[in-house]
Amino acid sequence: MLGEKVGSFTGKTTGQRVLPPSAEGPRIEVTAELTGTFGGIAATWLATYTSTIRPDGTLYGECADQGLVMTADGVGTWRAAGVGWFSGDDGSASFRGAVYLTTPPPKLGDLMKAALVFEYEAAADGAAALELWAWK
């Protein structure tokens, strides 16, 4: 991976709903809540993202200004996009992409200067894991 590892989270999917399809294919909205560390600080990572199943079977995921990171010193917002694929016959999926802080919690302001590349794993049972690296 690129750069210094700055985040590690685990948690679960807390909601899903089917959306009207896009021109590319069927869409699902997913909400997840994860806890862990971000920039060395305990944090909660909240996301509501859409995942589109493209004609070739790959996935396009996007969290357009529907992401929050909460720390003891404040709340920040972020946006992200990534590509993915089904990693098992049970509906598990893997995504790779980039996160950009739009407003950081005060102690994490330095991360505004980086693209945060991620690996996200979503299991069929709702378990989720997120790893983040700062690409400066």
pLDDT, averaged across the chain? 96
pLDDT, one tens digit per residue, over 97-116 is 999 999 999 999 999 999 99
Per DSSP bridges, beta strands 59-71 and 27-38 are unpaired
Total domains present in the chain: 1
pTM score of the predicted model: 0.95
For residue 41, give the CATH number of its domain. Answer: 2.40.160.20
Confidence of residue 65 (pLDDT cuts 50, 70, 90): confident
pLDDT digits (tens, 9 = 90+) for 16-53: 999 999 999 999 999 999 999 999 999 999 999 999 99
Domain that holds residue 102: 4-135
